[in-house]
Amino acid sequence: MLNLEQVRRALEAAGQSHILQFWPELGEEQRDRFLLELSQVDLAGLKEHCEGAAGAAASGSSRLDLPLEPVPPESIGSMKRSDSRSLAEWQNEGLLQISKNRVGVLLLAGGQGTRLGVQYPKGMYNVGLPSGKSLYQIQAERLRKIQELSDRKYGSKCTIPWYIMTSEFTLAPTEKFFNENNFFGLEPSNIIMFEQRMIPAVTFDGKVILQSKGKMAMAPDGNGGLYQALVDNEVLEDMKTRGVEYLHVYCVDNILVKMADPVFIGFCVSKGADCGAKVVEKTYPAEPVGVVCRVQGVSQVVEYSEILPETAELRGPEGELVYSAGNICNHFFTRAFLQEVAEKYEGQLKQHVAIKKVPFVDSCGNQVKPSKPNGIKMERFVFDVFPFSRSFVVFEVVREDEFSPLKNADGAAKDSPTTARNALLAQHRRWATAAGATLLDEHGNALPSPASVSAGDAPPAQFEISSLVSYFGEGLEDILKEKMLPTPFILEERNAKDLHAQQQIPAQ
């Protein structure tokens, strides 16, 4: 740890002497904590970081006038457009790789959930399902189920390690939550939590913001901080020791995420890809979502704000959007590619500007909660490594099946607890109907089929299927065919066995 004089000189050189303005007012314990925090910051690079943040914020975003190209068809797979034989082959390949312990999943869970309005990690959030399950529990149970499906198909006893990237804000509560819930039935040694780096938030004139008299306002360095965190925490070494060759990376807030999706993994492996992205079709040209495409022959994500409106509106011969591949932060990487990124390219990842409301202490020592954005947080994005890929592929999935993020508090028009909950319940209702079940309302009347109900007409039926019963709708016909089920209803392992047993009883 650096001493006070070393820190003082480094801050003066960076033009950030104000960081120590309240030092005389701090107690001994506060001083020790503050010195430790300052020692962990890259003080040598602080001047460049602050000037770069202020300059980037001042310049704003610009439109790309470079020629864009869609991803070529030979690099694309699709749940909607690929033939059933290919989909089955990819699924079998994915399950095979899982059975051989070659697949890991990595969860990006370092964000604070500010827009959601909670003071705890987003993965702990309960969106109001009949079961009351959190996002973490839903994901853990999907992981258990896909391991079981792989074991059953290939006679294995496999493990998918779960790597969870947290931040200073989320590590301790996440560890506590998993402990309190007995790791949701998973083996604790196969859940590896690690922290990403934190970087200082900066004012528009390039000064580090003080959160309190003895603490800088710090923020995670974006989900693109993953690549440095893999090195800092020796995660790549852990993967190598376990024999993990392929990694499925996703964000914590997608309630519909298919953990270690065997179809996606199998597609990427079959194509010899080192890097892959799941996408959903954009619903309209100006939808605020990044687009996976090529710029001067290089695969990357272009932010919606960077695309000219006339480019976004281009359509193909059948009326489809030319640039329709919406990025959903759901990726495939080989371990070898991640190793190469860590060794060669991590320092080349570009920085992105996020303008935020950052609570601070003013020059008089008063705590201030700003009413409008006052600070800059610099971030890197996980998809910024796409240009370094030698074999990049895209896999298109159906939005209603695989993407419903939780970002905003209830009351927002989209991406709220209500929309996430409804998306999952609507999916489970589709599965139940496809399996031959009839769902009943509180009066015992049959609910109309999902196909005849327009989105937004009414809240979906309160019918929930545990991931321990079905990973993605498979195996339900033996349980639900010709069943009349009152709602609300939760299909758990226990009552699923009872319903299955009823199917086996011959009619008298």
Residue 79's identity, in one-letter code, is: M
Two domains, one topology: 71-198+219-280+325-351+380-397 and 417-504: no
The domains of the chain are located at: 71-198+219-280+325-351+380-397, 417-504
DSSP line for 440-471 = E-TTSPBPPPGGGS-TTSSPPPSEEE-TTT-S
Buried b (16+ CB within 10 A) or exposed e, 213-245: bbebbbbbbbbbbbbbbbbebebbebbeebebb
pLDDT at 386: 97
d(CA 160, CA 99): 9
d(CA 342, CA 319): 41
Token code pair at residue 178: 């998993």
Q: What is the pLDDT of residues 172-231, one digit of tens each?
A: 999 999 999 999 999 999 999 999 998 999 999 999 999 999 999 998 888 999 999 999
Which residue in 361, 336, 180, 200 sits closest to 272, CA to CA?
A: 336
d(CA 286, CA 284): 6
CATH of domain 71-198+219-280+325-351+380-397: 3.90.550.10
Widest distance between CA atoms in the chain:
90
d(CA 268, CA 277): 9
Tell me the whole-structure pTM to 2 decimals.
0.92
Query: Could you say which DSSP state residue 266 is in?
Result: H
Class of domain 417-504: mainly beta
Q: What residue ranges of the chain have pLDDT lower than 50?
A: 506-508
Do 87 and 263 contact (CB within 8 A), yes or no? yes
CA 415 to chain centre: 13
Q: Are strands 291-295 and 68-69 parallel, antiparallel or unpaired?
A: antiparallel
